[in-house]
A and B are shown apart, each in its own frame.
Chain A
Amino acid sequence: MSTDVTAKTPAPAPSGKGGGTADGGLWGLVLEGMRRNMRQYGMLIALGLIVALFAVWTDGDLLLPRNVSNLVLQNSYILILAIGMMLVIIAGHIDLSVGSLTAFVGALAAVFMVKNDMPWPVAVLLCLAIGALAGSVQGFLIAYGGIPSFIVTLAGMLVFRGLTEIFLEGQTLGPFPKGEQKIGIGFLPEVGPETNYHNLTLLLGLVLIAAVLLQEIRDRRRQLSFSLDVLPRNLFLLKLVAVTAAILTVTLLLASYKGTPIVLLILGVLVVGYSYVMRNSIFGRHIYAIGGNLPAAKLSGVKDKKVTFYVFLNMGMLAALAGLVVAARLNAASPKAGLNFELEAIASAFIGGASMSGGVGTVLGAIIGGLVLGVLNNGMNLLSVGTDWQQVIKGLALLAAVGFDVWNKRKVGS
């Protein structure tokens, strides 16, 4: 009966284990810490390696301020989709319609603003509402109609693609009014004295660093008060330094070009907001519960249908947002917009730690997964790798990420 707990207590800081050198000890701690959250740390390290590799291969071009700025703009819509997709996949479903829905909303935006001269704020809100409506129709069929999400959204993929072409009459429509364009390609305005950097971006960067540090320290304090295992002190400091350095680097790179893209700000709000919802709200808990064990969730009184419905409604709304960003970026609505976006979003979620069977994953993971793909894309473009080989390599990256996870789980032992 003393063997009641089969799990070993996670090894507490093996400080001075074997009396190794301070350096070796610290490295041991880093490894130990990473093993606990292998998939996400693994992907974070993979992301770092990919960035480093391409920085070397492109003779530093990858990290030129202009390119970093571009990288954000290029990948923002996939990242927006990846957030929604992560929720869908955690709930145990899939959404194949988001690429088409992105194009469809872009087309509507063009019809509203370009053809009918609707004021852009109204049109944007209307587009978001229509996206939510499209998502809720699919969500209704899946949750209450009992039709598998794969089928409903496969149908949606065809329907919305077709509707896009119908609305655009096969043409490309543009250009968009200035306000709408800003969503996709705009930057925060410059304020304050003339420096070599974008002042507002520097300020935002510093605020972000302060907020992250504060949050980390508060978390650690709280975990200590719960007498939980925390990172050992020196490792924790190392983490803080690393995080600060990463944010500072990106801030400086952006600030030395045109500053903070507006879409990055939107993305930041989404990441923080959705992370909070998934972690702290009842709704978020219920998403994990129905994905982790649907029968148990039902017997616990979770309204599984309602939750599923809202997850898809939300996905539709985010797809609409992505559609607006894409349209703004291209400054036109095209029938071929958003092609294969659903696959990139799904791949991002899986690279970032989602599981086919649902119940697992984080919003931040989806972002990391999306960035892995994004940097691969961008880096290979800089190296003039053809799209043919780009696809091969991205496919292999997805396979490697999930394969590694499967292998790692098996090794740890079921």
Chain B
Amino acid sequence: MAGPVLDMRSIVKTFPGVKALSDVNLTVRQGEVHAVCGENGAGKSTLMKVLSGVHPHGTYEGEILFEGEVCRFKDIRASEQRGIVIIHQELALVPYLSLAENIFLGNEHATRGFINWNETLRHATEVLRRVGLDDHPETRVADIGVGKQQLVEIAKALSKKVKLLILDEPTAALNDEDSGKLLDLILELKKQGITSIIISHKLNEIRRVADSVTILRDGRTIETLDVKAPETTEDRIISGMVGRDLENRFPERTPHQPEEGTAPALEIRNWTVHHPIDQHRKVVDDVSLHVRRGEIVGIAGLMGAGRTELAMSVFGRSYGRYAGGTVVKDGEEIRTRSVAEAIRHGIAYVTEDRKHYGLNLIDTINRNISLSALGKVARAGVVDEHEERKVAESFRTSMNIKAPTVFEPVNKLSGGNQQKVVLSKWIFTGPDVLILDEPTRGIDVGAKYEIYTVIDRLAAEGKAVVFISSELPELLGMCDRVYTMAAGRLTGEFSRSEASQESLMRQMTKDKEVTR
């Protein structure tokens, strides 16, 4: 067995208010493919950013040893010089430059500032061949598919004399065929002596390419397993990913008893959505689900499962290209082709990304709360500011928004309080159905409990709640029923009593072939 090429010791990384990594250790042997897996938010990407110098030395605690030497990278260039190259989830290619130009971007073959095109093209052809691409190096990146673009990224890494290649969920945006090719390439590079770290939560992928797997959970290293050992089953990995205790982190809930006979508050039938650009990719594939009044229904899924896309598409076709499906509310088919229409039918969608999609950060609390239902505080198109303030005040009290006045700009609030403002805004529209997308993401434990209480109260008032979350304990603690999604499909439905972290995770990591 070869010795370690990389040794990360006791890495601690804190962001304002959040401890992203607390005491992570990662040891990677020379020449292996090492998988890192864990739930969303477990700290995988942060760890890789620490390793590659995106988070420079000094912003974290702990030690990084690469090839036996202590490394203190001050930026990505420094780590690349040592032969550590990271390929991010979002590809970092310039679409309108050629493959060759992209490969040598920032690293050009040039003499006195002028590019040596012969050398550039020769070298580009060489590295492209190594990753199995025979496209001409002068082809524009925009003209090749996402799968090939991923390979170009790897070619770019190879041109930098990579010793350790880090791939952050490399197959998340790829179809099966491209994924297969990419995984083959990783194995091929392994033969050439290149060590890889692959972040993934697709267990079949990990079993196919990885030699060992390190599991992270809540910013800690849980364990490192030998993938080839017979006792390392998928279940074994899953239990490592989820093994967490459920304390009293949720309000007491009396589970909802479904009333027979009445139509569900919201029913989505055979909903299909195509990717906005790549029309052949189904992001949401024939999904049907329903939620009753007073019920909290969870949707579990990992990155790329299509949960947000489903919700946003149903909510006024705000994502992708609609390709079929109907929405039925209280037994009657409704149209939700625009956001205004969806709101009028009593649907509210609370986004997972409050900063980009939820709030006008430079505006005040009261104006953010009233925005979706200005008509309620206005007469003949004129906003009654007195009324608006009263509404905002009542939400400030009932939702416990911590701010000196409702005239405070929301960008001065903490994440938890911002989330309460977004929730207030949607509650104010008077919805029957609330779709909450990761409502507790990035907020502290105390604020989380408050949000749970609010959700509970909404259900008790008879509203139907769809609860999208990546945190399984949260779904288990709050929901009456949980659906699982993977790769755009619905892969399971669990009642409160059937659902466990293990059973959900099994369906969440299921790939298409298995489902069929």
Residue positions of A touching B, CB distance < 8 A: 1, 3-7, 9-10, 222, 226-229, 280-283, 285-286, 288-289, 292-293, 295-303, 359-360
A289, B363: Cβ atoms under 8 Å? yes
B224 within 8 A of A: no
Cα of A383 to Cα of B62 in the assembled complex, Å? 67
A293 CB contacts on chain B under 8 angstroms = 356, 359-361
Which residues of B329-384 have CB atoms within 8 Å of chain A's CB atoms? 338-340, 342-343, 349, 351, 356-363, 367, 370-372, 374-375, 378, 381-383
B96 within 8 A of A: no
B382 CB contacts on chain A under 8 angstroms = 280-282
Which residues of B444-502 have CB atoms within 8 Å of chain A's CB atoms? 444, 446-447
B357, A295: Cβ atoms under 8 Å? yes
The CB with the most chain A CB atoms within 10 A, among B316, B370, B414, is that of B414
Interface size on B, residues (CB 8 A): 48
Instruction: List 15 A-B residue pairs with CB atoms under 8 Å apart, sorted by A's residue number.
Output: A1-B444, A3-B17, A4-B447, A228-B407, A280-B383, A281-B382, A282-B375, A282-B383, A285-B370, A285-B374, A289-B363, A296-B360, A299-B318, A300-B371, A303-B340
Cα of A10 to Cα of B339 in the assembled complex, Å? 37
B370 CB contacts on chain A under 8 angstroms = 285
Nearest CB on A from B418, distance (A): 10
B447 CB contacts on chain A under 8 angstroms = 1, 4
Given A5, A280, A283, A359, which contacts B403 in the complex, CB threshold below 8 Å? Answer: A5
Cα of A228 to Cα of B365 in the assembled complex, Å? 14
A5 CB contacts on chain B under 8 angstroms = 402-404, 412-414, 417
B381, A4: Cβ atoms under 8 Å? no
Nearest CB on A from B468, distance (A): 15
B108 within 8 A of A: no
B389 within 8 A of A: yes
Identify the closest chain B residue to A299 (Cβ).
B357
Cα of A299 to Cα of B363 in the assembled complex, Å? 16
A360 CB contacts on chain B under 8 angstroms = 362
Q: A282-B381, A292-B361 are in contact. List 12 more A-B contacts (CB 8 A).
A: A229-B405, A280-B382, A281-B383, A285-B371, A292-B362, A297-B360, A298-B339, A299-B315, A299-B351, A300-B339, A303-B340, A359-B362
A1, B446: Cβ atoms under 8 Å? yes
Cα of A292 to Cα of B312 in the assembled complex, Å? 21
Identify the closest chain A residue to B422 (Cβ).
A296
CB within 8 Å: A-B pair count: 107
Identify the closest chain B residue to A223 (Cβ).
B407
B318, A298: Cβ atoms under 8 Å? yes
A281 CB contacts on chain B under 8 angstroms = 378, 381-383
B425 within 8 A of A: yes
B338 CB contacts on chain A under 8 angstroms = 301
Identify the closest chain A residue to B426 (Cβ).
A300
Cα of A288 to Cα of B364 in the assembled complex, Å? 11
Nearest CB on B from A284, distance (A): 8
A301, B413: Cβ atoms under 8 Å? no
Cα of A9 to Cα of B421 in the assembled complex, Å? 18
Cα of A226 to Cα of B365 in the assembled complex, Å? 15
B349 CB contacts on chain A under 8 angstroms = 299
Nearest CB on A from B432, distance (A): 16
A283 CB contacts on chain B under 8 angstroms = 381
Cα of A222 to Cα of B425 in the assembled complex, Å? 24
B372, A300: Cβ atoms under 8 Å? yes
Identify the closest chain A residue to B383 (Cβ).
A280
A300 CB contacts on chain B under 8 angstroms = 339, 371-372, 425
A296, B378: Cβ atoms under 8 Å? no
Nearest CB on A from B308, distance (A): 12
A303 CB contacts on chain B under 8 angstroms = 340
A299, B339: Cβ atoms under 8 Å? yes
A1-B446, A1-B447 known; A296+B358 contact, CB < 8 A: yes
Nearest CB on A from B221, distance (A): 28
A288 CB contacts on chain B under 8 angstroms = 360, 363, 367
Given A1, A3, A7, A302, which contacts B371 in the complex, CB threshold below 8 Å? Answer: A302
Identify the closest chain B residue to A302 (Cβ).
B371
Which residues of B253-283 have CB atoms within 8 Å of chain A's CB atoms? none
Cα of A384 to Cα of B367 in the assembled complex, Å? 49
Cα of A359 to Cα of B370 in the assembled complex, Å? 17
Given B356, B363, B404, B413, which contacts A9 in the complex, CB threshold below 8 Å? Answer: B404
B351 CB contacts on chain A under 8 angstroms = 296, 299
B205 within 8 A of A: no
A286 CB contacts on chain B under 8 angstroms = 374
A296 CB contacts on chain B under 8 angstroms = 351, 356-360
B383, A285: Cβ atoms under 8 Å? yes
The 4 closest A-B pairs by CB, nearest first: A7-B412, A292-B360, A1-B446, A4-B402
A301, B343: Cβ atoms under 8 Å? yes
A289-B360, A299-B318, A301-B339 known; A7+B374 contact, CB < 8 A: no
A295-B356, A302-B371 known; A280+B385 contact, CB < 8 A: yes
The CB with the most chain B CB atoms within 10 A, among A9, A226, A227, A360, is that of A226
Identify the closest chain A residue to B386 (Cβ).
A222
A282-B378, A283-B381, A300-B371 known; A292+B340 contact, CB < 8 A: no
Identify the closest chain A residue to B349 (Cβ).
A299
Given B17, B316, B402, B405, which contacts A228 in the complex, CB threshold below 8 Å? Answer: B405
Cα of A359 to Cα of B362 in the assembled complex, Å? 8
B412, A6: Cβ atoms under 8 Å? yes
Which residues of B109-150 have CB atoms within 8 Å of chain A's CB atoms? none
Cα of A207 to Cα of B99 in the assembled complex, Å? 71
B367, A285: Cβ atoms under 8 Å? yes
Cα of A301 to Cα of B374 in the assembled complex, Å? 10
A4, B357: Cβ atoms under 8 Å? no
B360 CB contacts on chain A under 8 angstroms = 288-289, 292-293, 296-297, 359
